[in-house]
Structure 1
Amino acid sequence: MLSDEQKGLFETLGFLVFRQLIPPDEMKTYIGAFNADMTRANAGVAWDKAARRHQVLPFYRHDPAIYHRLLDHETITTIVEDLIGPDFVFTVSEGIYHYTGTPWHHDDVSPDGHTHLKVVVFLDSVRSNTGCLSVLPGSHLSQYRERMERHGRSILTTGPDVPGTFPLESDPGDVVVFNVKTYHGAFGDGVRRGIYVNYMQGPRTQAEEDYITNIYRRDSAHWGSYYTPELFADAPPRRLKMLRFLKEQCYDPVSV
């Protein structure tokens, strides 16, 4: 599905945006369910906005009949496969409320040559001053990222004024894909809701295997198991393929 130019841009810049990839009627389903499902995940208690940010993972387990449509979305799955290969691994889905901005940061850093990406679906229109995801293009590349880690702390405190800031403004139906090594943040105090889905390139070395399994075990110890029985109960063959590695390496249905 993706052109060589799109693949090259992702490798060079660390992100892609797909406009109106999800049809309006389908988006209405996700938007309509999100608030109730986030509350259900919090034992039926509405979230307190004073906390600034709330994150639920694994998110899909709270309404699999709705969100497994996203997990099995043919176009999104094809995009992921085109970017990181046919043996990619689905790790976890996140539901997030943001009530304010997020400072510049990058997420976990996988071994050189290995890609961990996120697919993001925002449920509200977000602009540069209301909390859209902003990135520093190319900062997933090791030389850029490592220099920023050593020398960029001061300039990163300037938020949206960091040179090279690129805001990924989006509307419901748009899909943002980015390499989690890329420096990213969000600025402004608008309320925003998003579904974040993590995928990793299939491991080819022991270091890559360790990266994937260590994150699964680390986060599962804090949040609860990434994988739950719901993931497998209605899984078509393509989903089973993206679950295979962690099912074999980490998943323990008895402990869930």
Structure 2
Amino acid sequence: MHRLLLFVPTSFSSTLPAQGFTTQEFFMTSFKKTAAALALLASAGSAPVFAVTASADIDVTAGIAPVLSMTCTPVKFGVWRVPVRNSGSATAIELSLISDTPTVSGNTAGGVALSTTAGWGAARGQCTVTGSAAADSTLLNITAANSTGTLGADSSSAYTGLSAPATPIAALGYALAAATTAPLTSGGTTFYVGGSLSIPQNVTTANYGAYKATLAPVITADDQQ
């Protein structure tokens, strides 16, 4: 709190003539000086005070979450018993997404059939996804690269006892099929991969043996997280 002391002479008659002021002029001058002093003190008391520096806390954050992982079993069209031939048309083998039992169409002359030897049967590819942080029922996006191509000689056959052919068939083609989406449950899901296989019309004894894709297909799953 500021205090202003104003001294006014008690005897105007002796002071006013000496200063050349009338009584009215004296009081007006004193009032103006007093008002100016009061204004100065008021402004000094209410003026904002600015700090030279300022500081604040700032958070630094990060997170670590599981990676999305996937494993897939092979798409196995199975071992087909096909007679030596050089006429007719191709034989089509279809493996659906809902069954491990393939269907055959096209050139079946001479008794084209799936082998019954143990381990030589057909099976859909099965892909299992884990590690997603997405909510249940979120749709996993599925894509396939190299989903069409040809099969070449397989020296490490998935079919026990079946070796690579002496002369691979040049036009043994395949096309894979898979769902484009799959719903997630508890961070994971399972989906299947099927497709079609085309056995050309010309088959020789040198063509018998095990085959696999010359360029491996790649299945990609994306949970958009």
TM-score, with normalisation over the residues of structure 1? 0.22
* Greater share of helix: 1
Query: Which structure would you say has the larger RCO, counting Cα contacts within 8 Å and 6 or more residues apart?
Result: 1
* Greater share of strand: 2
